[in-house]
């Protein structure tokens, strides 16, 4: 993979592009640690499903982009060990130069490599795996395949969650949801699409998730208090969908 990195700024927001109009990441310059794009905020919904303050103890992020997810976890989960796998060295360089990627230390490890290959070979276990890897034409390649999802499930801990950003030019994710559901034995959920067209999917391994909408609302309030992240809109859309029969989310 070789891409041309383009940086643009508008109205106080800095954007990352790969040789196209597709936005690969964004950062509000005045609030570099905040999650600027809707879908990046929604990808933190796992913090509502596993609300314990020490979770996740370990996180694997496939695809760095503008480092939004990495920076949020690094800032608000100081005990989390974060591993980021990014295939393109130029993206890492851009994240450091333009998007305030933190320095590597005992909490943060940046691996240059293919995310699917890493997932197939790793023997580590993670509480949280997040996938957000796309090329300049919004293609995922092997990151949206049954073998990848099976490998991801095998790499999750007993409290493990996989969170995936689903984006394509066709806006049709039915086959992806079928693959996720098969890999995770039915324990997968697609959130209603964001205004941007992104859909965030969550799949669970290990301990069952069984929470009422009221419990999720309380978790939302606590998360906003602790991090400033407001997922009330996400919860409202979820409640209006058919994903919570009887007012419970079971996964």
Calpha distance 180→143 (Å, rounded) = 11
**Who wins on pLDDT, 20 or 114?**
114
CA atoms 225, 66, 148, 60: torsion sign: negative
| Whether the Cβ atoms of residue 170 and residue 204 lie closer than 8 Å to each other | no
pLDDT in tens, 236-246: 988 888 888 89
Rounded distance between C-alpha atoms, residue 74 and residue 176, angstroms: 29
Check 79, 132, 135, 185 and give the catalytic one.
Answer: 132
- Does residue 117 carry a catalytic annotation? no
Q: Could you tell me the pTM of the whole model? A: 0.92
Q: What is the pLDDT of residue 22?
A: 73
Express each pLDDT in 178-192 by its tens digit: 999 999 999 999 988
CATH level 3 topology of 5-228? Rossmann fold (3.40.50)
pLDDT at 135 over 80: no
pLDDT at 137: 46
pLDDT in tens, 186-239: 999 998 876 666 789 999 999 999 999 999 999 999 999 999 999 999 999 888
Percent of the chain with pLDDT over 70: 90
pLDDT band of residue 169 (cuts 50, 70, 90) is very low
User: What pLDDT sits at residue 199?
Assistant: 86
Nearest to 115 by CA among 183, 62, 176, 153: 62
Q: Residue 244 has what pLDDT?
A: 87
What residue segments make up the domains of the chain, in order of their start?
A: 5-228
Residue 97, judged by CB atoms within 10 A of its CB (0-12, 13-18, 19+), counts as exposed
Q: Which of 2-6, 14-18, 37-41, 65-69 has the lowest mean pLDDT?
A: 2-6
Is pLDDT of 103 > 70?
yes
**Alpha-carbon gap, residue 7 to 150, rounded angstroms:** 35
Q: Of all residues in the chain, what percent carry a pLDDT higher than 90?
A: 74
Predicted pLDDT at 21: 66
Tell me the average pLDDT across 168-178. 70
| Structural tokens at position 30 | 């005045």
């Amino acid at each position: 993979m070789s891409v041309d990195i383009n940086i643009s700024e508008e109205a106080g927001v800095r954007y990352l592009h790969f040789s196209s109009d597709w936005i690969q990441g964004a950062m509000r310059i005045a609030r570099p640690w905040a999650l600027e794009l809707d879908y990046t905020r929604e990808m933190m919904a796992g913090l509502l499903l596993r609300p314990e303050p020490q979770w996740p103890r370990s996180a694997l992020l496939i695809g760095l982009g503008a480092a939004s997810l990495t920076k949020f976890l690094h800032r608000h989960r100081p005990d989390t060990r974060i591993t980021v796998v990014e295939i393109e060295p130029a993206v890492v360089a851009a994240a450091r130069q333009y998007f305030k990627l933190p320095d590597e230390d005992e909490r943060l490890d940046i691996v240059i490599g293919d995310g699917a290959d890493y997932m197939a070979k790793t023997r580590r276990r993670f509480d949280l795996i997040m996938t957000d890897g796309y090329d300049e034409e919004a293609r995922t390649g092997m990151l949206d395949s049954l073998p990848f999802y099976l490998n991801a499930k095998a790499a999750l801990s007993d409290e493990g969650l996989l969170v995936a950003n689903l984006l394509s030019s066709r806006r049709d994710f039915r086959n992806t949801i079928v693959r996720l559901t098969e890999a995770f034995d039915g324990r997968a959920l697609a959130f209603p699409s964001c205004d941007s067209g992104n859909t965030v999917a969550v799949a669970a391994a290990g301990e069952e998730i069984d929470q009422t909408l009221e419990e999720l609302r309380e978790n939302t309030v606590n998360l906003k208090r602790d991090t400033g992240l407001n997922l009330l809109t996400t919860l409202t859309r979820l409640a209006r969908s058919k994903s919570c029969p009887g007012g419970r989310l079971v996964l």
